[in-house]
Amino acid sequence: MIPRHLKYTPTHEWFLVDNKTITVGLTRFIMDKLDRLLFLDLPKVGDEILSGISFGEVESLDMLIDITSPLSGDVMLVNERLYENLGILSEDPYHHGWLIKFVSTENHLLDELMNAEEYATHIAKLQSSVTPLKRRKRRGKPIIKGRRRRR
């Protein structure tokens, strides 16, 4: 079941606007594609995330997925519970498995994201195509596209 109150990206992130903050998570579809989760990297509170640039990653036994946002903003809260129990991300991606909360001046860009019906159509096309999801394996040091976050 795809929650109707959220917005979605083609790269399987979901977004929820609550007052002035935007909550980001990963969809059930992508979490089901990941086997056993091994690693999660998220920004710290106060970090800036940039539109289209990876702000985090999640790694399973056979995949490494970049987490991106179509909006830039400042991180207000990070779900620290995920570092203690990565299983939360797989078990409850839409409620307790949220990743970060941030503020942005670009909230109007959320209107361009997919609604639940459009996202359902998107994943149906992915499931029927012969092209698998883009996979990236970790080799040595973490490979992150774009600029690395300031620490």
Q: Which domains occur in the chain, in start order?
A: 7-128 (2.40.50.100)
Of 10-19, 25-34, 88-97, 133-142, the range with the lowest mean pLDDT is: 133-142
**Edge-first strand listing for the sheet containing 7-8:** 7-8, 13-18, 21-26, 100-103, 73-78, 48-49
Q: At which residue do the structure tokens 């096309």 appear?
A: 125
pLDDT tens for each residue of 22-33: 999 999 999 999
Q: How far apart, in whole angstroms, are the C-alpha atoms of residue 83 and residue 91?
A: 14
pLDDT digits (tens, 9 = 90+) for 36-71: 899 999 999 999 999 999 999 999 998 999 999 999
